[in-house]
Structure 1
Amino acid sequence: MEEKNFYRDAKVEDINSILKEASSEKLPQSEKVEEVGEENVEPSQSMENDKESRKPTDLKESNNNFFMKTYKKGDIITVTVVKVEPNGVYVSAGTKEDIFIPLRGLTNHAVSSASEIVKIGDKIDVMVLKNGPNMVLSKKMADNVKKYELLKEKMQKEEPVKAKVEKVIKGGLLLDIDRVSAFLPQSQVGLRKGETLDSFVGKEIDVHLLEVEPKVKRVIVSRLKVIQEEKERVRKQMLVNLKKGEIYEGVVKAVLDFGVFVDLGNGVEGLIRASELTWGRRKDPHEVLKVGEKIKVRVLSVNLDTEKISLSLRQVKPHPWEEVEVKYPIGSTVTGTVLRIHPFGVVLELEDGVTGLVHISQLDTKHIDKIENFVHVGDKIQAKVMSIDKENRKMKLSRRALLQDGIS
């Protein structure tokens, strides 16, 4: 009862005194309580006055100043197009006011209105050229940066790009790659027969990027590398297309002791081993073919892993023995070269791959003791065809029969 009467009969001065004492003695309190005076007896009125003093416009301005974005020169930022006019656009960049970008800051291309480039609501990347109250932005510059980044990425991936030749300059050609200038050195043009630097002006060509330096705006390219890659592609395709057993035309590129290298075209070369040059006895390759000579060859094998091609010159035509009975019928007279001399007779070569044996008893009508005293290797003699064994590729010849027939 006494406590209730105390709070009921307490005065304002007494309450202030108690609060001050509690503060000085650091007594526990649930919250900080401001001094209560007679003027605070009506707290609701004071709060109403405070609300009126804090106007919404002041709060909005305070928030804008606190959350306003700041940028530095050279930044690439994303903005939203809020208004499009013929001579430029207004964009929202998170700043206090929208920023105007003139037409010349939007693109390098010749356009009559900004509406040809963007529309309201588009989000575009721009570069900060000047920061502060009068911020200057450029979509064109941001696009250029992105173009250099794209070119650098293509260079790293070794991807070719298309370029238009603008003009001939000192040391090479000036190119345009999507509004980015590039230099093509004359040593990297890869001029073919009949081509000149002037013949490229105005044309679109494929090039490889050799160097991309955005800071100094330097781009160096090569057409020669593209040509080399195309040649390699065609060469590999031809390797794949070569078929075993097929006949191809070629040009003799080199003649060596062990064989002949033949250019089949498009940089593809094959080897004819000495044993595949003729059907007959093995000859020195230099006796058979000459450098630059055009010939036909048959493909014996193609190894795509090692890219080695085996060719044959002799197998372009059927083996001579296939037609021997037609060319050298029994009873006909033939002329041959002494190829080998044996104790039992002489081997005559009628043509590459076709030989016949003249037995010692068939060399002359007289008895011969030693063949070497009668004929020598390389001598040419005539003989009569006596028999043909096509299956075993054997032919019997007789010089004696001719002598008996009265043919010397």
Structure 2
Amino acid sequence: MEEKRNESVEIIINRDLAKDQLKKLYDDSFKSYDLDIFSKKDEDEQTRVVNGRVVRITDKDVIIEVGLKSEGVIPLSDFSEPEKVKVGDIVPVFLEAFENEDGFADISLKKAQFINLWPKINESYEKGTNITGIIKKQVKGGMIVDLMGVDAFLPGSQIDLQPVDDMNSLIGLKTEFRVIKLNYKRRNIVVSRRLILESEKESKKFEFLNNLKVGDIVEGIVKNITDFGAFIEIEKGVDGLLYITDMSWGRLVHPSELLSLNEKVKVVITAINKEKGRINLGMKQLTPYPWENIEEKYPVGSRVKGKVVSIEDYGSFVEIEKGVEGLIHISEMSWTQHVKKPQEIMQVGDTVEAIVLSIDKKNERISLGLKQLSDNPYDSIKVGQKVKGKITKIQKFGAFVEISPGIEGLLHISNISWDNKISKIEDLYKVGDEIECVVVNIDNSKQRISLGIKQLQKDPIENYSEGDIVKGKISEIKDKSIYINLDDGVKGLIPQRLIAKQSENLTNDYVKDSEIELKVVDIDLEKRRIIFTDKVE
């Protein structure tokens, strides 16, 4: 009985001793810490980073001893590589408080890592250097990147050079990043991967451009097609512009007629601007210049066949081979038709034959003729030829007469009669009248024919010769000259120097409408006038 009582007393004494020891340990645990650390400013937070030791690991947490009466708890998920954490590891933690409401030391691994890494991250930001990280997970608007234990935000627009369709495929990727935004108080770090990729792209582009030469033949992929050309990727991240005018020697309305997106093509370097990083490409330059030896291929006078590719008011363009077009001017389409629009003869897409009229190699121009495929009907018409035709139109100055299908001649009012002065042609003819004429002149260059009726008969003036004695009637006395009319309509005059009776007033000696004997002195066939004298011996 006595022994039991003594044991109880010993237990009570030991219990009291344990309490005293625990209290002493609790008090001693604070001696290693500055109790004012929780009142320090943000810039002194480094003083609240302490080293802890891993004492136990559960399925979800890591128990860390930091020298306080209570241990701290860190979620296992806070560690970058949780599978490598083991008992005995020394881990820096941030001391939020000596004790939380659950009785544990209030510590944070994330804050400690942020504070410890801040100088390095800030230096990287200020110097613009790269920093290594691992993409952890996708969040709204982007992804979270682990920078040596510190979380940073990677916006979706900063992930790659092009929008990323499947962000989850990048989880676990270890790569370089560039810090583009920092906020210490908010523990906010924003990084970019795109800046590095752009820098690498420019660097590779610069190196590629340095090795590239005009005339180099390269292969590329069609990345974009516009109205004015196509962009060809000739190296990863290096695009060149292929203008529509450099795609084909022939006519193209739009680049899509020749190229398709993602098509692999062969091109030649035509120009390089290293300062602006621009490259011009050519495709047609890989084929022979079609205008070389053009005169030998299509000599003037040769017959060619081609496709009508364009029509303008003044004529039609015909492609006789890729890159070689000729113009059929509207005036070269028909000998006889008065063509007002080329569409009256041909349409775009028609295949036509033509004759080469001229070649201007320097300006890449060929003149073609359609009407030259047949004989010129004007060549069969000769001056002096008698023709019959129908009056198609009457003007003040004369009448147009169709003497052959599509061929008209002009009967001028002055060519109707030798002797009668006609004031109105309508007094003699009307549209539709059939008349006989003679061809008096042909202008082949302008395809104009002059006709005459009076020329069907001999000109009466041709019946006279110098020295002939004739009788005529005085028609007028004027300007010291006497004007004469002969019976056959031929006109003439007696100039003052050839008048027999010289006086101040000729009317005293000569009477109008009186008949007078005359002698032919000179004959002007062009003016159809005879010079007379009344000095008849």
TM-score range with shorter-chain normalisation? 0.3 to 0.5
Bigger proportion of residues as strand: 2
Q: Rg: which structure is higher?
A: 2
TM-score w.r.t. the length of structure 1 is: 0.47
TM-score w.r.t. the length of structure 2 is: 0.38
